[in-house]
Structure 1
Amino acid sequence: ILKDYTMVGMGNSFGNPKKDLEDISKSFDESLSALKKFNKDSATKKALEDEKKLWAEIKKSILETPSKEKVTTLQHKLDELLKVANNTTGLFAKQSKEKTGDIINISGRQRMLSQRMASLYMLKVWGINSPEFDTKMKDAMKLFKESHQKLKSFDKNTPKINTLLKKVEHSFKFFEIMSKSKSKFIPSLIYKKSNDILKNMNEATNLYTKLEGAK
Structure 2
Amino acid sequence: MQRRTLLLAALPVGLALPAHARIAQLGDAIDKAGAQRMLSQRMGKAWLGLLQPELAPRARQVLDDSAARFERQLKELLAFAPTPQITGSYKALLHRFGDYRALLLTAPDREQVNELLKRSSEVLNLAHVATTQLQEHSSAATARLVNLSGRQRMLSQRLALFFLARQQGARMDLVQRETARSSGEFEQAMQTLNSAPEATAAIRDNLTLAQGQWLFLKNALGSQSQTAQAANDVFTASENLLAVMETVTGQFARALA
Query: One fold, TM greater than 0.5?
Result: yes
What residue number does 1:211 align with?
Answer: 255
Amino acid at match of 1:4: A
Note if contact 2:221-2:234 (Cα within 8 Å) is conserved in structure 1: no
What residue number does 1:162 align with?
Answer: 204
Q: Aligned-pair RMSD on alpha carbons?
A: 1.6
Q: Structure 1 residue 182: deviation in Å?
A: 4.2
Q: Distance in 2 between matches of 1:183 and 1:65?
A: 24
Q: Structure 1 residue 128: deviation in Å?
A: 3.5
Q: Structure 1 residue 183: deviation in Å?
A: 4.4
Q: Structure 1 residue 192: deviation in Å?
A: 1.2
What residue number does 1:126 align with?
Answer: 168
Q: Distance in 1 between matches of 2:52 and 2:171?
A: 15
**The residue matched to 2:108 in structure 1 has which SS?**
coil
What residue number does 1:188 align with?
Answer: 232
Question: 2:75 aligned to 33, 52, 62, which one?
Answer: 33
Q: Distance in 2 between matches of 1:129 and 1:178?
A: 19
Identity percentage of aligned residues: 21
Q: Distance in 1 between matches of 2:199 and 2:117?
A: 34
Structure 2 residue 241 is matched with structure 1 residue 197: yes
Q: Structure 1 residue 178: deviation in Å?
A: 4.0
Amino acid at match of 1:118: A
Q: Distance in 1 between matches of 2:183 and 2:57?
A: 24
**The residue matched to 1:64 in structure 2 has which SS?**
coil
Question: 2:118 aligned to 65, 72, 76, which one?
Answer: 76
Structure 2 residue 192 is matched with structure 1 residue 150: yes
Q: Distance in 2 between matches of 1:195 and 1:110?
A: 12
Q: Structure 1 residue 174: deviation in Å?
A: 2.7
Q: Structure 1 residue 11: deviation in Å?
A: 2.2
Note if contact 2:220-2:234 (Cα within 8 Å) is conserved in structure 1: no
Note if contact 1:6-1:122 (Cα within 8 Å) is conserved in structure 2: yes
Q: Structure 1 residue 163: deviation in Å?
A: 1.4
Gaps of 5+ in 1: none
In the superposition, the TM-score normalised over structure 2's length comes to: 0.78
Q: Structure 1 residue 175: deviation in Å?
A: 3.5
Relative distance call for 1:134 and 1:84 in structure 2 (3 A) is same
What residue number does 2:91 align with?
Answer: 49
Q: Distance in 2 between matches of 1:186 and 1:132?
A: 19
Q: Decide which structure has greater helix share.
A: 1
Question: 2:136 aligned to 94, 116, 129, which one?
Answer: 94
In the superposition, the TM-score normalised over structure 1's length comes to: 0.93
